[in-house]
Amino acid sequence: MVLMIVQHAFGQLAIARTGVVPDPAPAPPDGAGALTTLLSWVKWGALVCCAGAAVTAGGMIALGNTSRRAEMAERGKVTLICAVIGAVVIAVAGTLITSSYGLG
């Protein structure tokens, strides 16, 4: 508690002396490498799911058209569009967040 008060006082003194609020660059905490590995695995798994959905959608479109089941072909087209949109969102997410918050 006392340490926090002392840090706050020194921070206020630094602001008063220089007139500039300090803005340190973001830095990952110790052990963040494991979190980065976990996120890369999740991203890989999500992309595999999108690829699987796209292949399944192609099969649904082909089967729906050859067996004259229009609802299956239509559902396959919607699934394909959703799989592509999902893959784009997954691919762009990291860049979007990094540029939005000025982390990179």
Among candidate residues 66, 64, 85, the one with its CA nearest the CA of residue 75 = 64
pTM of the model: 0.67
Q: 79 near 53, Cβ under 8 Å?
A: yes
Q: Is the pLDDT of residue 103 over 80?
A: no
DSSP run (H or E) holding 21: none
Q: 83 near 50, Cβ under 8 Å?
A: yes
> Distance (Å, rounded) from C-alpha 73 to C-alpha 67?
10
Q: pLDDT (tens digit, 9 = 90+) per residue, 19-69? A: 666 677 777 888 888 888 999 999 999 999 999 999 999 999 999 999 989
